């Protein structure tokens, strides 16, 4: 969890404060597809049930095509520059120094 508003304890307190009877939770990376809490919620709920969600900001942002989490180390323009530099025979060390990134970051973006 990356920010204080995502604290599970705070979310549970908020849910209990409004009288939520049953709580399902998932913790960990939002990049994961296995969500046992969500799966349990989906099998537990019935027509007419009310589902309360405390923090789904990342999923909402992703569905709108927004960047979520840490921004990329290189912009598209920097990647293009790195590709041109490499094509013109510049060393990886020189490119990394110019762009102020590590070798693994450069290789990841050039892959």
pTM, two decimals, is: 0.45
> What value does the mean pLDDT take over residues 74-101?
96
Query: Are 10 and 50 members of one domain?
Result: yes
Please give the Cα distance from 69 to 53 (Å, whole number): 20
Cβ atoms of residues 73 and 62 within 8 Å: no
The number of distinct structural domains making up the chain is 2
**Residue that wins the pLDDT comparison between 101 and 68:** 101
Tell whether the model's pLDDT for residue 23 goes beyond 70.
yes
Query: Are 9 and 34 members of one domain?
Result: yes
Please give the Cα distance from 12 to 38 (Å, whole number): 16
Residue ranges in the chain assigned as alpha helix (H): 8-17, 36-44, 57-63, 76-87, 92-99, 103-110
Cβ atoms of residues 23 and 33 within 8 Å: no
Residue 49's domain spans which residues?
4-63
């Amino acid at each position: 969890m990356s920010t204080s508003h995502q604290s599970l304890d705070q979310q549970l307190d908020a849910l209990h404060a409004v009288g939520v009877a049953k709580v399902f939770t998932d913790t960990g990376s939002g990049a994961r597809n296995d969500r046992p809490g969500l799966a349990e919620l989906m099998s537990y709920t019935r027509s007419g049930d009310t589902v309360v969600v405390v923090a789904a900001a990342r999923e909402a942002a992703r569905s709108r095509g927004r960047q979520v989490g840490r921004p990329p180390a290189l912009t598209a323009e920097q990647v293009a520059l790195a590709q041109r530099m490499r094509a013109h025979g510049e060393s990886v060390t020189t490119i990394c120094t110019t762009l102020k990134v590590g070798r693994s970051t450069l290789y990841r973006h050039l892959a």
